[in-house]
Structure 1
Amino acid sequence: MGISVIKFPTSQRENKMTWFLLCVAALVGGYFIYGAFIEKIFGINENRQTPAYSKQDGVDYVPMSNKKVYLVQLLNIAGVGPIFGPIMGALYGPAAMLWIVLGCIFAGAVHDYFSGMLSIRNNGASVPTITGRYLGNGAKHFMNIFAIVLLLLVGVVFVSAPAGMITNLVNEQTGIDMSMTTMVVIIFAYYIIATIVPVDKIIGRFYPLFGALLIFMSVGLITAIAFSSEHTLLGDYEMSQMFTNMNPNDLPLWPALFITIACGAISGFHATQSPLMARCLQNEKNGRFVFYGAMIGEGIIALIWCALALSFFGSVEALSEAISTGGPGSVVYNSSIGLLGVFGGIIAFLGVVILPITSGDTAFRSSRLILAEYFNMDQKALRNRLLMALPLFVLGGILTQVDFGIIWRYFGFANQTTAVMMLWTASAYLLRHNKLHWVATVPAMFMTTVCITFILNNSQLGFGLSMMTSTITGLVAMLAITGYVIKKSKGKGETDLANEEDGRLETV
């Protein structure tokens, strides 16, 4: 496909570079300013023993260094979400970049911080147990089902996506007719091993290197586009279009954009991953760097890929054509090869392929641990780990036969609904302890409205109601849920706080 060369005056190129750098600076500033504010509201206790030590078992509860935990957390939460989502979101135009910045700072990073820190305060518990403690047993049972379904969808997406990308790369570069089924089997075999071995044997040992590769690849690609003579950063767009919906398929920005771009802005999948590293964190003071900071890192990666999609193809029409021809995976391949040449492009492309693989295995690992908590089954013995993991892989194998597009649509909605539940859990925790709950309640209110409006309006997944009816219903339901959580949770925290300080759990 030919790529049109678009030339801009120097001042316009500088304005677009300035806009991009301001977005990155806002994310970094969000970590130091708003992240510190969130940490202060939570109230860390540097003298409290973390589950990495209090429950150390050599399998899932293993103390690891701060940098290593950060890089593993970044890879665990990343997947293809901060790449495929922003590529699809770029169809709405530069407005997608605003959602990445604002969503990441005020919703996604807050969500990730509380999902990690509340797990630490609850002895490394998974998200359904945490939700049940602060929102009740009904919410716990709902989250057990929803989290397992989400993680299975994630596991399947993160098998199918890298398998397809690797197969296309091999076939394109070597002419070998590789079967995608073969690659699916290979990835599944790796997932089984990585899911059951101790966390420090594969994940803790190799994933920090992959995390460094991911950062290097993202910076390399955005640097290449910034100094390219053939492509202009942010393509054929004016600064005045930053708040304009430019989707060539006439898809509404509200609420679809906030479902399309999940990872990189806010993602419920992260709530299932943060407890994995909560079981390895050495001190609560490291929580902001690991949980809030990794989300900011993912936001920067999402921002880079959104900018690359807008820049490399020049217009949303050209981008839409590329996606319809080969999916977001082909966008990754074409832009990587086009900007860095064959060798550099393949390295960058493989860096992208690593992402879903490193998140897919931790998705199954999280599923194993959630089931183990539900059945109260200790995971130190290999037999018990296999007993929990193998049925999950059987179900995952069956789901790989379902069309990828269908799986992705359900994944998007399930992902954001999980995020809503985690945000309400954080809100309930803050309410119980008479802390500033609005930092979690406001994003919970927004995302609740998004999810309800989306499922009511969407004709493929939901009920196909009009946008007006769906939005009004979403707002009314959101207000009702807000009132319920505030009434149920306010002022019930003294006993909980004492138990947390002693490291004890209390059933709801």
Structure 2
Amino acid sequence: MVTFIIGLAILFVGAALYGKFCERVFGPDDRKTPAYTKQDGIDYVPMRGWKNSLINLLNIAGTGPILGPIQGILFGPIAFITIPIGNIIGGAMHDYFSGMICLRDGGTQMPEMVRRYSNKGVYTVYQIFCSLLLLLVGAVFIYTPGDIAATQVFGFDGKATSVSTWVIYGVIFAYYLIATIFPIDKIIGRVYPIFGAILLFSAIGVFIGLFVKGYPLIELWDGWNGALVSYGDYFNANHFIPIFFITVACGILSGFHSTQTAIISRTMKSERQGRNTFYNMMILEGFIAMVWAAGAMGVYNLGLQAADASLATSTIGVICKDILGNVGGIIALVGVIVLPITSGDTALRSLRLAVSDALHLDQTNVKKRLGLAAIIFALVAVILVFAKSNAEGFNILWRYFAWSNQTLSLFAFLGISVWMFENNRAKYVWMPLIPGAWYAFVTITYIANAKIGFNIPWTGAYVIGVAAAVIYVGVIIWYGKKRAASKKFV
């Protein structure tokens, strides 16, 4: 338990220090925000600071900070240290600057941010890549909460041939459609406080239960091969780098988050709320990831659940019910179900906004919003049917989702870096470049080796990954300096 506590101390102390540093580097001021200058009663709507923070937390925290850590903890207690460090200097910094730059630039969405701070070619690639990811997110975040609800809350079999499965999917689908087309303060702004209360009960309940139940956790300095689980062997056999960083994903870094912070940039009353709304909410997601990683290690070490990455979904139910009992466990499971649902709805909302911005489509009329949403939802439905009907469908979907989620962050780090060059902050460009270089290495190495990628042997994959990271950093520095110089003489 000591390593777990040390990890939490790193997370919260580090966040207090580095979050303040990020705020000082950006320099929020008292200018009017887009929520006022572009107020339209639909997407540009001034909302209270606590509500923006809660909405952003629920937007970014899907199944990633739960399923990822449950699988990632199989690598051993190193996860309790890696998650908080990566979250502080990577994920939270990524979310803060993405959200703040979109806020200052008039509430732009991420495709527009990428266009402003790169070129047409990069923008086109990002627009396509981002749209595909958001479609995957929409499908994944109907599938996973639907299956958890079906099998662990209502007791159905969750099979593709069961009517109950598709009824549950349909209910989630209908909610997504409503949340996608209605004004943000009418649906999302009203139901999220309720969802937030359930989420907090789930996370804090499991956290307290870890200590009350005395869950046995492996320490960093102990032998990693316990009586029931051989964490050390798993670590050695499964290439901690890059597999761990693709698996854990959202608890450390998520490119998807930038698409969500951009939505909140249109509802914030003040730039000075950014640190709490963007940076600190990602830190809370890191806390959620730490809690579920510890819970999973506890049930694995007690033999309550087999230590098998493919059983991550069922592990959630074991943790909830063992720690909180049947009633509390059901409430906690509802909290887990809430997470992906509150990310899926805004994923599809941000896709609608991004497509409408790119194609200059008027979205002030309900019928026009519904028309665009109908096309998006039809595509999500096709993906969902494939994933559920094909034996390997969801595994394929999840692997591509996890990899593309991390890869998307490279575009945000590019935009942040160039923004720094153009705004007299070039001496701080190491802030986005360090995590950017790391994830360029991680994502390229992974896809080079993976069966869903190029199936290149590990040695070759690592060489390609290093080369990609070096090229990524070199090109950004060259391009950023070029943009800064051209702007200086305009």
Of the three residues 442, 452, 462, the one matched with 1:471 is 462
Q: Summarize deviations over 1:96-144 as a string: whole Å, max 9, x none.
A: 2222111100000011011101111221111111011111111111111
CA pair 98-481 structure 1, distance change in 2 beyond 3 A? same
Q: Deviations over 1:156-189 (max 9, x none)?
A: 00000011011112443999x8621111111111
2:249 — aligned with what?
262
Task: Find the aligned partners of 1:43 and 1:455 in 2 and give their Cα distance.
Answer: 37
Determine if contact 2:198/2:331 at 8 Å carries over to the other structure.
no
1:203 match = 188
2:128 pairs, out of 138, 145, 150, with: 145
Alpha-carbon distance in 1 for matches of 2:176, 2:376:
11
C-alpha distance 375-54 of structure 1, shift in aligned 2 (>3 A): same
2:431 to 434, 439, 464: 439
C-alpha separation between the residues in 2 aligned to 1:99 and 1:65? Answer: 34
* Offset, 1:399: 0.2
CA distance in 1 between partners of 2:69 and 2:8 (Å): 15
Distance 1:60 1:316, change over 3 A: farther
* Cα displacement string for residues 424-475 of structure 1 (whole angstroms, at most 9, x for unaligned residues): 21111112223111011111011101111111011x2111112121111111
Structure 1 pair 63/264, CA: closer, same or farther in 2 (3 Å)?
same
SS across alignment from 1:72? helix
Name which of 246, 270, 279 aligns with 1:292.
279
Mapped partners of 1:394, 1:340: distance in 2: 39
Structure 2 residue 439 is the aligned partner of structure 1 residue 455: no
Single out whichever of 120-129 and 290-299 deviates more from structure 2.
120-129
Give the TM-score taking structure 1 as reference length. 0.89
Q: 1:195 touches 1:361 (CA, 8 Å); kept in 2?
A: yes
Equivalent residues in 2 for 1:51-130, closer than 5 Å: 51-130=34-113
Structure 1 pair 127/316, CA: closer, same or farther in 2 (3 Å)? farther
Q: Corresponding residue for 1:492?
A: 483
Where do residues 50-449 of structure 1 align in structure 2 (5 Å cutoff)? 50-172=33-155, 179-228=164-213, 231-232=215-216, 234=217, 236=218, 239-240=221-222, 245-247=232-234, 250-314=237-301, 319-321=306-308, 323-324=309-310, 327-401=311-385, 402=387, 403-435=393-425, 436-449=428-441
Structure 2 distance, partners of 1:100, 1:242, is 18
Q: What amino acid sits opposite 1:44 in the alignment?
A: P
Q: Structure 2-normalised TM-score? A: 0.92
Which region of structure 1 is more displaced relative to structure 2, 194-203 or 479-488?
479-488
- Per mean C-alpha deviation after superposition, the further-off stretch among 312-321 and 415-424 is 312-321
Distance 1:477 1:238, change over 3 A: closer
Once residues 483 and 316 of structure 1 are traced to their aligned partners in structure 2, the CA distance between those partners, rounded to angstroms, is: 49
Contact 1:89 1:261 (C-alpha < 8 Å) held by counterparts: yes
Q: Is the 8 A contact 2:34 2:267 kept in 1?
A: yes
Structure 2 contact 198–335 (Cα < 8 Å) conserved: yes
Match of 1:8 in 2: none
Whole-angstrom distance in 1 between the partners of 2:297 and 2:342: 27
- Unpaired segments of 5 or more residues in structure 2? 226-230, 388-392
Asked if 2 retains the 8 angstrom alpha-carbon contact of 1:68 and 1:204, the reply is yes
1:26 aligns with 2:15: no
Q: Distance in 2 between matches of 1:386 and 1:252?
A: 46
Query: Identity across aligned pairs (percent)?
Result: 39
Deviates more, 1:103-112 or 1:465-474: 465-474
The size of the alignment, in residue pairs, is 475
**Structure 2 Cα separation of the partners of residues 433 and 238 of structure 1:** 42
Cα distance per residue 1:38-78 (max 9 Å; x no partner): 111112122x1111111111011111101010010000000
Preserved CA contact (<8 Å) 2:300 2:307: no
Structure 1 unaligned runs (5+)? Answer: 1-15, 500-508
- CA–CA distance in 1 between the matches of 2:488 and 2:380? 39
Cα deviation for residue 491 of structure 1 reads 6.2
Q: Which amino acid aligns with 1:409?
A: R
String of CA shifts for 1:247-278, please: whole Å, max 9, x gaps.
28932111011111111100001011001111
Structure 2 residue 28 is matched with structure 1 residue 41 = no
> Counterpart of 2:278 in 1: which secondary structure?
helix
Distance (whole Å) between structure 1 residues aligned to residue 156 and residue 468 of structure 2: 52
| One-letter identity of the residue aligned with 1:67 | W
Change (3 A) 1:372 1:482: same
Higher mean displacement: 301-310 or 421-430: 421-430
What secondary structure is seen at the aligned counterpart in 2 of 1:259?
A: helix
Please tell me whether the aligned partners of residues 38 and 44 of structure 2 are also in contact (alpha carbons under 8 angstroms).
yes
Counterpart contact for 1:433–1:491, Cα < 8 Å: no
8 Å contact kept, 1:171–1:178: no
The match for 2:390 is none
Shift of 1:318: 5.2
- Paired residues of 1:248 and 1:317 also in contact (CA < 8 A): no
Cα distance in structure 1, aligned partners of 2:208 and 2:75? 23
The separation in 2 between residues aligned to 1:173 and 1:480, in whole angstroms, is 51
